[in-house]
Structures are given as structure tokens and as C-alpha cells.
Structure 1
Amino acid sequence: MKKPVIEFQNYHFKYDSQKQPTLKNINLTIYEGEKVLIVGPSGSGKSTIGHCINGLIPFSYKGEIQGSLKIMGKEASDLDIFSISKMVGTVLQDPDGQFIGLSVGEDIAFALENDCTPQPEMVKAVKEVAAMVDMGAFLDASVHHLSGGQKQRVSLAGVMVDNVNILLFDEPLANLDPATGKHAIHLIDQIQKETNTTVVIIEHRLEDVLYRHVDRIIVVDDGEILADQNPNELFSTDILEKVKIREPLYLKAIKYAGGAITKDLEPADFSRFRAETFREQLRKWYEEVTLNEEPPEAEPILELNRVSFGYTPKKETVHDVSFTINKGEMVSIVGKNGAGKSTISKLICGFETPNAGKIIFSGQDITNESITERSLKIGMVLQNPNHMISKHMIFDEVALGLVARGVPEAEIRERVEETLKICGLYPFRNWPISALSFGQKKRVTIASILVLQPELIILDEPTAGQDFRHYTDIMEFLMELNRNGLTILLITHDMHLMLEYTDRAIVLCDGRKIADDQSVRILSDPQLIEQANLKETSLFELATKTGFTDPIKFVERFIAYDREGRNHGK
């Protein structure tokens, strides 16, 4: 009999700052050596459960607790946060917020130094754990010069070195490119198997986590546990659909074709899933779906002509990049961490000036135009809305750019109110920004750019950290803007977003453009996927597994059908 390591019994929690409890009657037991995934919509309470497990509640987030929580058999209320940290190691969504040391070795050693571990013992332990996370060759490297995936591995090593019993991962995939995310899930799985550590993962990207086996999925909604089942059982219910959590795309395709998912088909593990059961249903559905072939608008709005750039004279970040964006297009820019995606956006907006090449906008050379001049035509929305917001009130934030341009007050009011209506924020126009959710703040930052009436808008990771409902809300909102003529460039790691919302994608790798093609074709090219750290779509694999001679056409039809369904509220 496995021993319980986390036990919630009739557990309730209410933050001091809120009227209603965030967690209600939580009864949950997690056993030694288990790997458990916690999912739920934004605001459901899943992160709060994580905070209870690692001691941030009640030590950092104050509130009222009822019921019992035991960690390793000890009542959590009797423990201090230091004692809990020796049992539970947390790897945060943003590793930068977790670093203490300047080098990789120093950062991993931090917990051992606190314990006054003798140096020979410390060096040995650091080397061993660094090797486990494939960072043995980087012990002297600065943590700030690492890629996103490397930073996460260092964070993982920093908590593992303390021999914790439980590893808690809070959205480990949020800032990682697809292939690095896949490697992270593999690494977590490998460590869990080798050390028998209990692993708890909180994550929105369900299909990506299931790249490796999980024992149970806990579904949380409105502060309560809605389901606690093994993945195969869960996928044979409609619970995920009800709480607006994205199901794996291959299961969605089968449901569109009228297939019924049962647990004996092993739907949670694609490699074992008996997809061939649905061959005839998929073929019939495929033949009934029609594609609307609309000729794309071909008038260029933005052209990069052999653009090169380096932050230092001896090292180029962007090499000889050329591409054209047509008026009214919505295009993804994808590639691995450090590929040059954000640098390209800075060059387009004028935050940096190319060392060579030209940038053309609506037929005019803007290479040497100032940021101010370009901002009249091009808008940029950062990944984190908190990095853009500078006012307390929503109306004032959206009006800020117009005020700076000296627009008359009456016109400011008219334009701001119109933009707030477009963005679904008009009812909140007199609210403080602090009262908004992350997704609503994102809309405020989009509104603050839209009000300036740019012809092209660039969004960096528009859906990062969003649950499926908020993700869909934001993307449908952007689609509506695009249908009304706004040209949109999306910088993203999200292959679902690229596939479902943008017909075309530009792929960067090591500062070079290596592809510019239909999204579906890019995600069907194994060589390109490997080179750019992308990830094959399970739709393509489903089509191959069920005998379609042209898997690309199958994926195209799924995307067309899915879009049509969203447009008609299916």
C-alpha cells in the first residue's frame, strides 16, 4: 500500500482580500511516487491548491483556513515554511523569479549552502543533480545567458538538490517553445521514475503534458474538485468540454466525426490509442467537409528586405531576413527560444535599427523613421500586460497615447469609448485596472494600441498563461479585428494557435528565415519541425494512423470545419 504524502480533508480556504472562499470542501489524497496533473479554468482555484501544498498559503497569501492538510503525514498548520520547503520543491512558471546565484552552479548550490553542507559534499551533489537535468556542462555559465528551457532545468536542479519528497510544477510549459516543452515533460517523467519523487503539475496545455504518462488528472472548477480520474476514464466523459478545457485535437476530430470515446480505447496515450476504430467515420466526415478556397488579398503592407541586425558589433542576431505581409493578413512568427522573433518585432517597430537591409511599409521606406513616426502605423502589444500599463484607471490607460499626441479632449473621449466597446470593456470604463483579470488587462493593452488606429498590430504571445476559454475569447476578438481589415502579426510558441487561427506562418531559426508557408504544411514537415523546435500536430498523426493518403488535406479540413464551428458558435 502506497503511503499518502499530500492529504486534503474537508479543506476550505478564503483569501483575506475576497468575500467568497476560493477553495471549498477539498478532499484529495496524493500518494508517494504518483504523477498528478491539476487542470481547471482561470480562477478555478488550481493555483491556490498549489500554494497550499508549498506553504505560500498561509505564509505569503493570508486567509482563513478550515479543515485539514497533511504533508508527509504532518499537519501543515503545525509546520513553518522552511520545513515545508524541505519536503516540497516548487518550479515556477517564470524561472527568472527563482534565481539566487549568478552562475548555474551557485544557483543549484543555494539550498545546500543554507544547510552549511561541507564543500566537497556540496560540489559532488551539485554535479550529480546538474547531470540529471543535462546541465553538467554549464555549471560556470551565467543563469541570465541561458535559454528558457535551460533556465527551467536549473530551477528544477535547484529544488532537487535538497532531496525533496514532492516536486510541484506551476505551468512549466508557459514560456517554452514546443520542442523544449516536450523535452521538459520527458525530463520530469524521467526524474520521477528514477527518484520515485511525487510530482504535481499545474498546467493549461493538457495534450502537451500527456506526452508522458500521468497517473491521475484532477479537474478543479469554481473552487471544487469536479473530477479525480485516470486520464483514460476522464477522456471518456464530457467533463473537460463542460469546464472549457482544451481536449487533445485528435479526440476533437473523432468527436466531430461522430465517434464515441471509451476508456478501453486508451485515448490519453496517442501511441496506444486505437484510432483505427474510427477509420470509416473519419473518412465519411472528411468527404462531407468542404473547403472554401478564397483567394488571399495580395497587396503588401509590410516588407522586410534582406534585414540584418546584431546587438553587438561582432555578433549578428538576425541574418538577411526577407518576407512580405499582405494587407488584412493574420500571420504567425514561430521558432525556438532565441530564434530572433522578438528582435524582428523590435526592428519593425523601430526600437532597434537594422545594420543592413530595408523595411518598407505601404510602399514607403521606413528604415530610418523614428519610433514615434512608426507608432502612427504599427502597434505592439507585449506578452505581459503589466509591462505596458502605467495608469490606475482603464479609461486613462486607453486614452494615454492620444493625450500624448495632443488630440482634443472631445475626440479622445469619443475614440476611447468606441474602442472600449469594440474590446468588450465599455462596462468597465470607470474601473481601476487592479480589479481586472489577466485576460481583461490584456484587452486593455490591445485597446490602448487600437485607439491609435494603427494599420498593423504585433502581439507577442497573446495567449500565454490563458486557459482555453480566455484563449478562445482573445483569439476570436483578434479574428474579428482582422475581419474588419486590421493586419495582425502573432509571435507565438503555441502550435495550436498557429494552426487554428493563422493560415500562414514564418519560421525563424538562429536568426534566419527557414520557412514561409501554410501553417498546416509547416507542421507536417518533420525536418522543419526538428530544425525550428516546433512540434508535430496530433491531427497529422491521426490522419497517418487511420490511413489517409494526404494527411495535410485532412488537417486543412479539420481546421476549416473547426473555424466554421467557432464562427457559428458551435
Structure 2
Amino acid sequence: MKKTVIEFTNYSFTYRSQATPTLHGINLKIYEGEKVLIVGPSGSGKSTIGHCINGLVPFSYKGNVMGSLTIMGKETKEMDIFSLSKMVGTVLQDPDGQFIGLSVGEDIAFSLENDNTTHKQMLETVNEVSKMVGMEGYLQSSIHELSGGQKQRVSLAGVMVDKVDILLFDEPLANLDPATGKHAIDLIDRIQQETNTTVVIIEHRLEDVLYRHVDRIIVVDEGQIVADMKPDELLSKSILDERQIREPLYVKAAKYAGCRITEEMKPALLETFDVSECKKQINEWYEKVTIPHAKQEYQPLLELHNISFGYQQGVETIRNVSFSIHKGEMVSIVGKNGAGKSTLTKLICGFEKPSSGKIMFAGKDITDDTIKERSLRIGMVMQNPNHMISKHMIYDEVALGLVNRGVPEEEIKERVEKTLKVCGLYPFRNWPISALSFGQKKRVTIASILVLEPEVIILDEPTAGQDLRHYTEIMEFLVELQYQGVTIILITHDMHLMLEYTPRAIVIAGGEKIADQSAASVLTDYEIIQKANLKETSLFELAKKAGITEPIDFIERFIVYDKEVRQTWQ
């Protein structure tokens, strides 16, 4: 019989600032060497479960604990956070928040130095662990020069040097491009198999985690565990759909077609998913769904002409990039971490000046305009909310831009409250920002720009860390703005968001534009996918399995149908 390493028994927790419990009556066992995925809507309590496992609850996040939680047979209430950290290693969704050293080697060695490990043993351990995560060639490199995926590998190495019994990953895919996300899941899988470490993953991107085997999926909703099943069993039921948690797209499409999904069909892995018995239903559904006609194209609003730029003399980060974006259009800019996407947005907003080329807005050259002048027309929502937030309270943060512009107080109140409602933040309007999750902070920063009503909004990973309901609410609100003539540019690693909301995608690789075409055609072009670290949508593979000769058409019809279904949630 497997050894129990984590056990919740009738466990409840109430944060000090709240009147009702965030977790109540949790009973859960996780066994040695298991890989467990925890999913649930935003605010369901899944992150709090993670905080209980690693000791942040109740040692950092104070509150009232009832019931029992044991880690490796020891009651956590009788331990301290340092002792827990020697058993549970945590890799955060934002790796920048847990780096200590200036170089990769220094950061990996930090815990060993605190334990007074001998220099010889430290070198041996750092070399051994860095090889396991594929970072042995970067030990002298600066942390700040690394890509998102490399930073995550260093974070993992930093907790592995303690030879912890449990590895806890808090949304490890949130800031990674699709191909790097696959590598991350591969790495977690390999580490788990080689070391027999127990792995707990908290993640919204269910389909991406299921790229490799998972023993169990725990579904949390309203502070309770509502399901604890093997993946094949869970996907054969309607539990995820009822809680508006995104199922794998290929499973969702098969369900829309009327296929009865069973455990025997092995739906948890795309490669093993057997649709031989329901090919006819998928084809019939495909024939019935119609695609609306393309909308009229408006005049160009934002134009980049042969833009080049480098942070260092002689090294170009952006090379000769040109494209036009029309008024009222919603466009994705995609590519791997470090491709130059964020640099392009800095050039558009005026944070950096191009070394050559020009930027036009509504036919006027704005290349030499100041940041303030551009900010009246162009709003930017950054990827990391902590880089934007400057106020303590949610209402004050969203109102700040309007206050600075001298808008009357009554109008500020009306605009702020309206925006907070759309972003799902109105119930928290009087909360301190420090009490929010990463995903909720993200919505605060989106609200702080939306309330200013700019002509162009650039959003860097707008839905990272959001559950499907909030993803839908935010994106449908952006669609409403688009209908009113607002131009929206999305910088994203979410390939389904690109497919679903942006008919057109601009692909950047190595600082150059390598494609500017329909989103569906981008994700069915192997060469573009490889160059830009993208990932083929699973709908493409499902279409091929079902014998559909026009997979791009199938993908587009699924997008239309799925959006119509989710619009009924509004």
C-alpha cells in the first residue's frame, strides 16, 4: 500500500479578513510518488489548498484553522514554515518572485548556503540538479537574461536541492509560450518519474497539463472538493462543464457533436482518444454549424513602417517590422518568449524610440510623440500586474488615471463602478489589493486602463491566471469595446484565445514578422509553429481523426459554436 504524504481531515480555513471559510470540510489524501492536478474556478479555494500544503497558511496568511493537515505524517499546526519548506518545494507562477541570487548557480545554491553545506558538496549538488533541469550550461548566466521557461527551470532547481518529498507547482504554465509550456510539463513528468517525488500541480490550463500522464484530478469549488477522479473518468462526466472549467478542446468538440464520452475512449490523452464510434456524429455536427460572413474592414488606424530597434548598439531586437491595424479590429501578436513582442508594444506606446522607421496613428506620424501624448490614445495593460499597481485599495487603483486627468468625482464613481462590474471585481471594490490572487490583480490592472476609454488598448496576456468564466467575461467585454470602434491588440501565449477572438494573427520570431494571416491558418502551418514556439490546436488532430478533409474549416466552426454557447453565461 502506498504511503500517505499529504492528508487533510475535516479541514477548514477562514482568512482573518473574512467572515466565512474559504475551505470547509476538506478530506483528501495524496500518496507518495503521485502526480495530482488541482483545478477549479477562480476563488474556489484551490490556491488556498496549495498555501496550506506549503505552510503559507496559516504562517504567512493568518486565519482560523479547524481540522487536521499532516505532511509526511506530521501535523502542520505543530510545525514552522521553515521545517515545512524542507518537505515541500514550491515553484510559483511568477518565477521572478522567488529569485535570490544574481546568477543561476548562486540562486540554485542559496538553500545549501543557508544549511552550511561544504563548498565541495554544494558544487556537486548544484551541478547534479542543474543537469536534471537542463540548465548546466547557464550556471554563470544572469537570472535576468533568461527566458520565461529557463527561469522556471532555475526555480525548480532551487527547491530540488533540498531533496524535498513534495513539489508544488502554482500555475506553472501561466507565463509560458505553448511550446515552452509543453517542455515544462515534460520536465515535471521526467523529474517525477526519476525521483518518485510527489507532485501537486494547480493550473487552469487543464488540456496542457494532460499532455503527460496525471494520476488524479481534484476539482475544487466553493471551498469544497467536488470530484477526485482519474482523468479518463472525470472527462467522461459533466463535472468540469457544470463549473465552467475548460475541458480539453477535442473533448468539448466531441461532446458538442453528441458523442457519449466514456472512460474506455481514453479521452485524457489526445493520442489515445478513440473517436472511431462517433466519427459520423462529428461529421454531421460539422456540416450543420455555419460560419458568419466576414465583417467589413475599416480604415487603417495604427501603422508601423519598417521599424527597427535594439537595446544595445549593433544588436537589433526588432528588425524591419511593418504592419497595419484597422480601427475596431482585434488582433493577436504571438511568438515565443523573448521574440520581441513586448518590445514592439514599448515602441508603440513610446516607452522606447525606434532606431529607424516610423509609426503612424490615424494618418499622422507619431514617432516623436511623448509617452503622455500617446497615452491619450493608446492604453497598455502589462503582463505582470505588480508592475502597474501603485495604490492599496482596488477602487483607488482603478480611479487613479481618471483622478490624474481631473475628471469630476461623480463621473469617476460611475465609470469605475461600471468597469469593476464588467471585470468581475465590483464585490471586492473596497478590498485591499494585497488580499487578491494573481488573477484578480490582473483584472484590476485591466480595469484601470479600460476605465480611461483609449482608442487602442494593448493587453499583454490578458487572461493569464483566469478561469473560463472570467476569461469569457473579460474577452466578451473587449468584444463590446471593439464593436464601439476601440482597437484591441492582444499579446498572448493562449492559442485558443487567438483562434477564438482574433481572426488575424501577427507572428513574431527573432525580432522579425514571419506571418500576418488568419489565426486558424497560423496554427495549421508546421513551419510557423516551429519557428515561433506555437502549438497545433488539438481540434486539428480531432478533425483528422474524424476524417474531416478541411480541418481549418472545422476549427473555425467549433470557435463560432463554442462562443455562442458561452455567451449564454453572460
TM-score band, normalised by the shorter chain? Answer: over 0.9
Aligned partner (choices 411, 414, 435) of residue 414 of structure 1: 411
**Structure 1: gaps spanning 5 or more residues:** none
- Corresponding residue for residue 49 of structure 1: 49
Match of 2:212 in 1: 212
User: Could you tell me how far apart the structure 2 residues matched to 1:364 and 1:44 are?
Assistant: 48
SS class of match (2:421): coil
Segment of structure 1 superposing worse, 116-125 or 239-248: 116-125
Deviations 1:468-488 (CA, angstroms, capped at 9, x unpaired): 111111111111111221110
**Which piece of structure 1 moves more, 119-128 or 442-451?**
442-451
Equivalent runs, 1:177-326 vs 2, <5 Å:
177-326=177-326
CA distance in 2, matches of 1:440, 1:192: 31
What secondary structure does 2:432 align onto?
helix
CA 126–553 in structure 1, closer or farther in 2 if over 3 Å, else same: same
- Comparing 194-203 with 92-101, greater Cα deviation is found at 92-101
Q: Does 1:434 align with 2:432?
A: yes
TM-score normalised by L of structure 2: 0.95
Q: Which residue of 2 aligns with 1:11?
A: 11
Shift of 1:431: 4.1
Distance change >3 Å, CA 230–CA 420, structure 1 → 2: same
- Closer/same/farther in 2, CA of residues 389 and 118 from structure 1, 3 Å limit: closer
Following superposition, the deviation at residue 491 of structure 1 comes to 0.8
Deviations 1:20-47, CA, capped at 9 Å, x for gaps: 1111111111111100001111111111
Q: Letter of the aligned partner of 1:340 in structure 2?
A: G
Q: Is the 8 A contact 2:51 2:57 kept in 1?
A: yes
Instruction: Give the alignment of 1:475-486 within 5 angstroms.
Output: 475-486=475-486
Tell me the distance in 1 between the aligned counterparts of 2:173 and 2:243: 21
Query: What do residues 200-247 of structure 1 show as CA deviations (whole Å, max 9, x unaligned)?
Result: 101111000000000000011111110100001101111101111100
Q: 1:8 to 1:397 in 2, by over 3 A?
A: closer
SS at match of 1:322: strand
* Match in the other structure for 2:328: 328
2:421 aligned with 1:424: yes
Report how many residues are paired: 567
Aligned to 2:123: 123
Give, in whole Å, the separation in 2 of the partners of 1:76 and 1:432: 33
Question: Paired residue for 1:367?
Answer: 367
Q: Structure 1: how far apart are the matches of 2:13 and 2:447?
A: 35
Partner amino acid, structure 2, of 1:90: T
Q: Distance in 1 between matches of 2:380 and 2:139?
A: 37
1:557 aligned residue: 557
For 2:553 and 2:285, the matched residues in 1 are separated by 13
* CA deviation vs aligned residue, 1:405-434 (integer Å, no higher than 9, x gap): 455x3xx63376256436636995994352
Q: Note the 1:139-154 alignment, pairs <5 A.
A: 139-154=139-154
C-alpha change, 1:87 and 1:324, in structure 2 (3 Å) is same
Is the 2:133–2:153 contact (alpha carbons within 8 Å) kept by the matching residues of 1? Answer: yes
Distance 1:224-1:566 versus aligned 2 partners, 3 A rule: closer
CA displacement, residues 43-84 of structure 1 (integer Å, 9 cap, x when unaligned): 111111111111112221222222221111222222222221
- Contact kept, 8 Å, 1:394 with 1:429, in 2: the verdict is no
- Cα distance in structure 2, aligned partners of 1:471 and 1:170: 19
Cα deviation code 1:144-163 (max 9, x no counterpart): 21111001001111111111
How is 1:452-467 mapped onto 2 (pairs within 5 angstroms)?
452-467=452-467
Distance 1:105 1:12 in 2: 40
1:424 is paired with a residue whose SS is helix
1:448 Cα offset (Å): 3.8
The structural deviation recorded for 1:176 is 0.8
User: 2:513 aligned with 1:548, yes or no?
Assistant: no
Q: Residue type of the partner of 1:548?
A: I
CA–CA distance in 2 between the matches of 1:152 and 1:145?
A: 13
Partner of 1:338: 338
Tell me, in whole angstroms, the C-alpha distance in 1 between the residues paired with 2:211 and 2:555: 20
Report if aligned partners of 1:341, 1:508 keep a CA contact under 8 Å in 2.
yes
- What is the aligned-residue identity percentage? 68
Which residue is equivalent to 2:24? 24
Say if 1:127 and 1:302 are closer, same or farther in 2 by CA, change over 3 A: same
What residue in structure 2 maps to residue 37 of structure 1?
37
Whole-Å Cα distance in 1 between the matches of residues 63 and 136 of structure 2?
A: 42
Once the 2 structures are TM-superposed, how far is the Cα of residue 385 of structure 1 from its aligned partner? 3.9
CA contact (8 A) 1:392 1:434 kept: yes
The 8 Å contact of residues 393 and 430 in structure 1, kept in 2 or not, is answered as no
- How many angstroms apart in 1 are the aligned matches of 2:543 and 2:374? 45
Q: In the aligned structure 2, how far is the partner of 1:563 from the partner of 1:368?
A: 41
Do the aligned residues in 1 keep the contact of 2:330 with 2:487 (CA within 8 Å)?
yes
Which deviates further from its counterpart, 365-374 or 423-432? 423-432
Match of 1:498? 498
CA contact (8 A) 1:398 1:447 kept: yes
Q: CA deviation at 1:517?
A: 0.8
Contact 2:446/2:462 (8 A) holds in 1: no
For 2:62, the aligned partner's letter is K
Aligned to 2:515: 515
Q: Is the 8 A contact 2:524 2:552 kept in 1?
A: yes
Deviates more, 1:186-195 or 1:437-446: 437-446
**SS of the counterpart of 2:37?**
strand
Alpha carbons 1:12, 1:65 under 8 Å: kept: yes
The change in CA–CA distance for 1:57 and 1:327 in structure 2 (over 3 A counts) is same
- What's the C-alpha RMSD, in Å, of the aligned pairs? 2.1
Cα distance in 2 for residues equivalent to 1:83 and 1:293:
61
Matched, 1:106 2:113: no
- The 1:13–1:485 alpha-carbon spacing in structure 2 relative to 1, beyond 3 Å, is same
Q: Within 1, Cα distance between the matches of 2:484 and 2:420?
A: 13
Q: CA deviation at 1:251?
A: 0.9
Post-superposition offset of 1:403: 4.2
State the alpha-carbon separation in 1 of the partners of residues 43 and 105 from structure 2: 37
Q: Measured at CA, do residues 443 and 129 of structure 1 come closer, stay the same or move farther in structure 2, by a change above 3 Å?
A: closer
CA contact (8 A) 1:110 1:158 kept: yes
